[in-house]
Amino acid sequence: MARSVTQQRKIINTAAAWAVGLLIFFPILWTILTSFKTEAQAISDPPVFLAFDWTLENYSVVMERSNYMRFLWNSVIIAGGSTLLGILIAIPAAWSMAFVPSKRTKDILLWMLSTKMLPAVGVLYPIYLIFIKMGLLDTRIALVIVLMLINLPIIVWMLYTYFKEIPGEILEAARMDGASLRDEVLYVLTPMAIPGIASTILLNVILAWNEAFWTLNLTAAKAAPLTAFIASYSSPEGLFYAKLSAASTMAIAPILILGWFSQKQLVSGLTFGAVK
Amino acid sequence: MATQHSRSAARIMMAPAVILLLGWMLVPLIMTLFFSFKKYLPLRGGDLGWVGFENYVRFVTSSSFWPSVLTTLVIVGGVLLITVILGVLLAILLNQPMWGQGMVRILVIAPFFVMPTVSALVWKNMFMDPVNGLFAHLWKFFGASPVEWLTQVPMTSIIVIVSWQWLPFATLILLTAIQSLDGEQLEASEMDGAPPLARFAFITLPHLGRAITVVVLIQTIFLLSIFAEIFVTTQGAFGTRTLTYLIYQRVLESQNVGLGSAGGVYAIILANIVAIFLMRIVGKNLDA
């Protein structure tokens, strides 16, 4: 009796959850579908959902016409470069905070977080001016530096959380067994820290890839990443829905896939450990 | 055991991160403060000398200031209301036993990974376009005349777009919090005959209080500075000019750096008020 009620409830739950999930996902699904239509089908009235002639033409047109590869490459360099640079700077900092904590560790962590709260528009002109003076406006280096700095607090914070979970006793045990410092770092610490470092990298690549204030304001033609490439579609000419969809699909696909892998780390990473 | 030696090593290891962030914070901040007390027009004469608090007064007394504050508050408030309420409901739904829970989670989280320029453009063209948008087709199907979303109800449209982007974040955090709820407590109250609504109001909701606070604070900080969504859709027209967008226009479009910097200082103060509350919560958790 009780069991059949549960079963029935489970069916209702499943139906409701899938309906809501598909509704939320629908704009993305619709974009992906539209990217395989011809321009005429993309705006046909009434709209067609699946019964259209699937074509890859939009993808080849977008790639040929707009130097798509250059924007993609800029995105990869900017997101990857800023994350790696940030990781290199953050690892020693997080390491020392986790293993040699002092009275001020907490204050430093909170202060780092507070720099993240600085509204970008408040410092837009100074940053703009500095990069003009240094001849770095519209270069990938400028964006690598800026995105590294805005994400550094999150990187330090996430790594700190992961490192703190590594028990110090294990290090002591290794030392007692005669491991040298090099062995200790290489064979004991690193393997334990790799999952944490990997998920930190993942989340920060996502954040940097999607960042759309500095990437729009500090780039023009040369260093513009995919965020700016897509924004250039905002003043369209003629038929363009299918091409817009193809460009959008290509811009979000890599991150959607990475994102699905990182969803477990997302919560602790984005709330700075305030929600576990 | 931390020795004197390891302490100084620790300091050296921390130095690069601390120095970089200190520079990142102080240098632009000091420059913004500096410019905010100057009449500074890069394209029309450059530095025209000190003007005291004139920029601060002009920024607040300009006719676009209060509307921009109101716009900002309506967008932030609207998005918070929608994402928190729907987020709680969705988190409760996703926490129920069902088939394919992992898959549904993935569907729900997906919008968070879409870059802001893409989501704004997709919504603007493929959903809200008054001729070819999906909403127009839907409206026509039911015999209504299509709405020109971004010109007739621009604020609602932007709130819808931004809420869609942030709902996954709220849901994910609230779901994480709900999963730590003690199931036995709920069961016991159910046995005692508490109706579902009472169970929600007296057990689930209080348990979620902290997570809701965190969602509200973090989202507020990000929502105060939304930019791409407005840049791509209305460019600040039709009453959608937020404080962030107003400052951006002063600084980069009309190149009135002094005035824009004064606005920037206001934005920094505003963000810091919110940040203080967030830091308190995070800091408390750090002790535990």
Q: Is B253:B199 a contact under the CB 8 Å cutoff? A: no
Neighbouring C-beta atoms of residue B99, cutoff 10 Å: 13
| Contact (CB<8Å) B17/A90 | yes
- CATH code of residue B122: 1.10.3720.10
Say whether A241 and B126 touch across the interface (CB within 8 A): yes
The pair of structure tokens assigned to A19 is 């309906």
Q: Give yes or no for B150 touching A (CB within 8 A).
A: no
Tokens 């750096």, residue? B257
| DSSP 3-state of A242 | helix
**In this structure, are strands B38-41 and B46-50 parallel, antiparallel, or unpaired?**
antiparallel
Q: Does residue B29 sit within a domain?
A: no
Enumerate the residues of chain A whose CB falls inside 8 A of the CB of residue B11: 96
Total domains in chain B come to 1
pLDDT at A1 (0 to 100):
40
Superfamily classification of domain A67-270: MetI-like (1.10.3720.10)
B147 in contact with A at a CB cutoff of 8 Å?
no
Burial class of residue B94, CB neighbours in 10 A (0-12, 13-18, 19+): buried
Spatial contact of B84 and B215, defined as CB atoms under 8 Å apart:
yes
**Contact (Cβ atoms closer than 8 angstroms) between residue B220 and residue A116:** no
Residue B87 has pLDDT above 80, yes or no: yes
Do B271 and A117 count as a contact with CB atoms less than 8 A apart?
yes
Q: In this complex, is the C-beta atom of B46 within 8 Å of any C-beta atom belonging to chain A?
A: no
Nearest Cα of chain B lies from the Cα of A20 at a distance, in angstroms, of 8
Contact B112 A259 (CB under 8 A): yes
Domains of chain A by residue range: 2-57, 67-270
B99 touches chain A (CB under 8 A): yes
DSSP code of residue B46 = E
Specify the higher pLDDT residue, B22 or B6.
B22
Q: Which residues pair with B38 in a beta bridge?
A: B50
Considering the domain boundaries, does residue B171 fall inside one? yes
Each residue's pLDDT tens digit, B159-207: 999 999 999 999 988 998 888 877 778 788 888 888 888 888 888 888 8
In a domain, B89, yes or no: yes
Residue numbers of B between 25 and 44 with CB closer than 8 Å to A: 25, 27-29, 31-32, 35
Chain B: nearest CA to A148, how far in angstroms? 10
Amino acid at B80: L
Please, what is the end-to-end C-alpha distance for chain B in angstroms?
22
Q: Cβ-count burial of B63 within 10 angstroms (0-12 exposed, 13-18 middle, 19+ buried)?
A: exposed
For residue B274, list chain A residues with Cβ-Cβ distance below 8 A.
Answer: 117
**Under 8 Å between Cβ of A249 and A98:** no
pLDDT value of residue B288: 52
Q: Which two tokens stand for residue B133?
A: 């948008």
Chain B residues with beta carbon closer than 8 angstroms to that of A46: 137, 141
Looking at residue B131, what DSSP letter applies? T
State the pLDDT at residue B182.
72
Q: Taking residues B125-131, what's their average pLDDT?
A: 87
Scanning every residue of chain B, which has its alpha carbon at the shortest distance from the alpha carbon of A272?
Answer: B282
Note whether residue B46 is domain-resident.
Answer: no
Contact at CB, A275 and B210, closer than 8 angstroms: yes
Task: Indicate the Cα dihedral angle A70, A74, A80, A86, nearest 10°.
Answer: 170
Which residues from A are below 8 Å from B14, CB to CB? Answer: 92-93, 96-97, 108
Give ∠ CA B105-A199-A170 in degrees, rounded to 5.
125
- Residue B283's domain comprises 62-287
Least confident of A140-144, A187-191, B29-33, B85-89: A187-191
Q: Do A24 and B108 touch (CB under 8 A)?
A: yes
DSSP A239: S
Q: Which of A20, A130, A227 sits opposite B115 (nearest CB)?
A: A227
Give the nearest partner residue to A27 out of B27, B28, B123, using CB atoms. B123
B13 touches chain A (CB under 8 A): yes
Name the residue among B113, B137, B270 with its Cβ closest to that of A46.
B137
Task: Compute the nearest-CA separation of A48 from chain B (Å).
Answer: 11
**Residue from A124, A128, A175, A205 to probe the interface with B (highest B Cβ count within 10 Å):** A124
Q: Which of B86, B109, B113, B235 to mutate to test the interface with A (most CBs of A within 10 A)?
A: B113
- In chain B, which among 260-279 make CB contacts under 8 A with chain A? 260-261, 264-265, 267-268, 270-272, 274-275, 278-279
What string of pLDDT tens digits covers the 276 residues of chain A? 445 568 888 899 899 999 999 999 999 999 999 999 888 788 777 787 777 788 888 888 888 877 888 898 999 999 999 999 999 999 889 988 888 888 888 889 888 888 888 888 888 889 988 999 999 888 999 999 999 999 999 899 888 888 888 887 877 788 788 877 777 777 877 788 888 888 889 888 988 998 988 998 888 888 889 888 888 877 665 558 888 899 899 989 988 888 877 777 777 677 766 676
**In this model, does residue B287 exceed pLDDT 80?**
no
- Judge whether B124 lies within some domain: yes
Minimal-distance CA residue of chain A relative to B181: A276
Is B15 a member of any domain? Answer: no
Residue B238 reports pLDDT greater than 80: yes
Please say whether the beta carbons of B99 and A14 come within 8 A: yes
Integer Cα distance of A104 and B10 in angstroms: 12
What is the pLDDT, as a whole number, of residue A29? Answer: 94
Looking at residue A88, what is its pLDDT? 92
